[in-house]
Structures are given as structure tokens and as C-alpha cells.
Amino acid sequence: MIERGNPLPSVGIKLVTAAGVEDTTSDAVLGRGTVVLFTVPGAFTPTCHDNHLPGFIANAAKFRAAGVDRIVCASANDHHVMKAWANASEALGDVDFLADGNADFARALGLDKDFTGTGMGTRYARAAMIIRDGIIDAVFVEDAPGVNASGAPAILMALEAA
């Protein structure tokens, strides 16, 4: 699993923003400035949709005030699903979305998790990280169901403590 001090891996992804969808790489999106990346098992899934994403949307101004240049959500969903989720959640402009349909970036980070028992295949573990100029500064991985260590309040506290 990726750790503090590791460089961000470069993997092909699709970026969903208010401007549309583009093919790019993880390091091009996450490698400049201070970025908060949070990863979720799936778009529209109950915990992700109701408990994880909303905290980052609601606290976007606080993240910017803490020096965060970009908030990004990654999931192993295709870009059509990620765009629909971004639109439905009204997050665009506050949060950008990485569509990692084959979970290649999830594997490169060591955050891939087997959800085949629930019919979802390989997905991301629920996590968040602070990235500064392409170097991992902090990683927060949930060790139980729910949103605690990787939620917006915990990441804001970590930013304030840094």
C-alpha cells in the first residue's frame, strides 16, 4: 500500500470535471499543489453517496482555506457513471472525479479491495490521502465499515495539524 513519502504513481484515468471528461494520468491530475484524494467503493452506493462525498462538498471552502488546491474523488466506476454521480450530487466545481473503471490506479496505490462477494468486483478500499506536489503526505484507510478516518472532518483536522 502507498505510504507517506511515496511518489504518486502515473496511471491512465478519466477525469470528470465541470468542463467535461478527459483522458489523462493520475500524476497529471494529482501531482501539482496540495490535493485531497478520497477513494470510495462505488458511485451511488449508500455509504459513499450519503456519508462520504457530502462531507467533502459541504466543506470545500474549508479545504480551500486550509490550502487545498483540489479535492478529488476516485472510484472504480466508468466515466459515464462518475459523470452521472457528479451531476446528481451537484459536486462539480467543488470536487473532481477520477473514473478508474478497471481499478488500475487502485492497484497501483495498493488500495484495491475484492468486493466480488457482493457482486461489485475489484473496487477501492475506502480511504483518503493528502498529496503535496506529487508526494504522498498522509494516508487514511478505513479499518471498519463506515466513514471515520477518511471523512472530511478527519482530513480537515489532519491539514490543520500539519
* Catalytic residue set: 48
Look up residue 131 and give its three cell numbers: 498529496
Residues in the chain: 162
d(CA 153, CA 157): 6
Q: Could you give the C-alpha distances from 11 to 14, 17, 58, 114, 142, in angstroms and in order?
A: 10, 18, 29, 20, 23
Beta strands 127-132 and 96-99 are unpaired
Beta strands 96-99 and 12-17 are antiparallel
**Could you give the angle at the alpha carbon of 143 between the alpha carbons of 156 and 49, nearest 5°?**
60
